[in-house]
Amino acid sequence: MNTLEKSSVVIAGGGSTYTPGIILMLLDHLDRFPLRKIKFYDNDEERQKVIADACELIIHKNHPEIEFLATCNPEEAFTDVDFVMAHIRVGKYKMRELDEKIPMKYGVVGQETCGPGGIAYGMRSIQGVLDLVDYMEKYSPNAWLLNYSNPAAIVAEAMRRLRPHSKILNICDMPISIENNMLEILGFEKRSDIVTKYYGLNHFGWWYDVRDKEGNDLMPKLKEYVKENGYLVQSDIDSAKQHGDNSWNETYKMAKDIYAIDPDTLPNTYLKYYLLPDTVVEHTDPNYTRANQVMDTREKEVFTACRQIVEKNEFRGDELSLDEHASYIVDLATALKFNTYARMLLIVENNGIIENFDKTAMVEVPCLVSSAGPEPLFVGTIPTFQKGMMEEQVAVEKLVVDAWMEGSYQKLWQAIALSKTVPSVTVAKQILDDLYEVNKAYWPELK
Ligand code: NAD
Ligand code: G6P
Ligand code: MN
């Protein structure tokens, strides 16, 4: 067998809570995706250093042949790389907290990527991701940017318009996690044991066909389960996996109630924010939202573990958990590097894939991925219910990008007012004014 060519990757958002899990995952998959260099890039040196020092120790002790560098200098970070793996959070958790709490003041869903909070985050993220694309094109023009920085739908639409020829692919882990639960429901082992069909926007989609490798229809068994339990499975309970805490367990359970409105399809869990906003608001403490939970758990745990590893100059292996579900990133990089034609859900321009839907919308659909990039698979005509919801939501996303490009207050007001999570133009304006006030350092000036 030929030896596989080694890659050089830069992780943008090196200080992310997800970075150590991804590093352990990358080291676990070196047989199929060998690495010669790993670099971290962040714009917060202090935050990145905590994660980087621990990861450097882990990499050097186990794979001394892999070069490591953590830097805040774009030239150093983006020179000689094959892949940019991007998970930045512009404004960090402090701003996520405000994205969630401000809408809640008005009884509106406060969420990282959905509704007004997602819109505010989108207005912050566009410039951050755009900078990454430009650094990559300047210093490593042949590289690919694999982006999972949120809100991926808005970021993807912005890059489609602002950098139409750039090698950037947007991907989300939510369908992957749900498909892992489907495997458990069905009694299968690997994601490759099932073939799924799905369409929608990011954090806004539906499965309409799931089969085993022999072609047997697995939807009836899945529906029967989801109707009673949502996607919650035994391994979620008290689990250390990424979507395993109480809040995620609740979300997985709620899929049962969003499934009820359309028993022909199986929903993405994120649809709860659009279809059950009243229940979501009722169950949210306006003074202690998801950002607070994450800061008090995942962020503390990851940073504490990294500090301890460095202090003791030792990695036993159980201080940090390997994020196996993030192996989709390796699947994607491997497909691009080694031309595997892996079938993956990606966020791509519709272009007729969903026949009765805006050609220029960024949709989430299965694609075959080769070294030439993604080849989306035909979906066809979608039903009125989904089409109606998607048309409204895609208009929201497009209006946000309009607002960002034109510096338009009016367009951003329209975007918020059009979101299914917002009851009126009056409430939309109040939320917008509050969000604008706290986002002045991040958003373009609005006129
Ligand atoms: P985090 O705040 O722990 O990490 C983000 C890092 O990005 C921070 O270290 C921050 O300093 C850095 N950063 C912010 N702005 C930057 C910029 N302009 N340039 C370079 N670095 C910058 O956040 P987290 O919870 O670990 O999440 C990271 C990102 O990954 C978020 O956008 C989150 O929404 C996203 N995410 C996406 C998926 C998906 O399905 N697509 C899954 C999980 C997380
Ligand atoms: C899922 C979504 C991501 C999102 C994350 C938030 O993984 O696909 O896009 O960022 O959930 O999870 P958290 O635990 O930070 O609330
Ligand atoms: Mn996602």
Burial class for 373, CB neighbours closer than 10 Å (0-12, 13-18, 19+): middle
pLDDT at 109 > cutoff 70: yes
pLDDT at 242: 81
Residue pair 199/175 in contact by the 8 Å Cβ criterion: no
Among protein residues, the one with the nearest Cα to ligand 2's atom 13 is 294
Predicted local confidence at residue 4, as pLDDT: 95
Q: What is the pLDDT of residues 271-313, one digit of tens each?
A: 999 999 999 999 999 999 999 999 999 999 999 999 999 999 9
Q: Has residue 48 got a pLDDT over 60?
A: yes
Q: What is the mean pLDDT of residues 126-144?
A: 98
Q: Is the CB of 18 under 6 A from ligand 1?
A: yes
Q: Please give the average per-residue pLDDT across 98-122, as a whole number.
A: 98
Decide if pLDDT at 325 tops 90.
Answer: no
Is the ipTM, as predicted for this complex, more than 0.85?
yes
Q: Label each residue of 145-209 as H, E or C.
A: EEECCCCHHHHHHHHHHHCCCCCEEECCCHHHHHHHHHHHHHCCCCHHHEEEEEEEECCEEEEEE
Ligand-binding annotation for 29, yes or no, is: no
Does residue 44 line the site of ligand 1, with CB under 6 A?
yes
| Catalytic option among 270, 273, 274, 328 | 270
pLDDT of 328 above 80: yes
pLDDT in tens, 195-246: 999 999 999 999 999 999 999 999 999 999 999 999 999 988 867 788 889 9
Q: Is 275 helix (H, G, I), strand (E, B) or coil?
A: helix
pLDDT of residue 49: 98
What predicted TM-score, i.e. pTM, was given to this entire model?
0.98
Confidence (pLDDT) at 240: 75
Residues with CB under 5 Å of ion ligand 3 are 172, 174
Closest ligand 1 atom number to CA of residue 299: 3
Catalytic-residue membership of 173:
yes
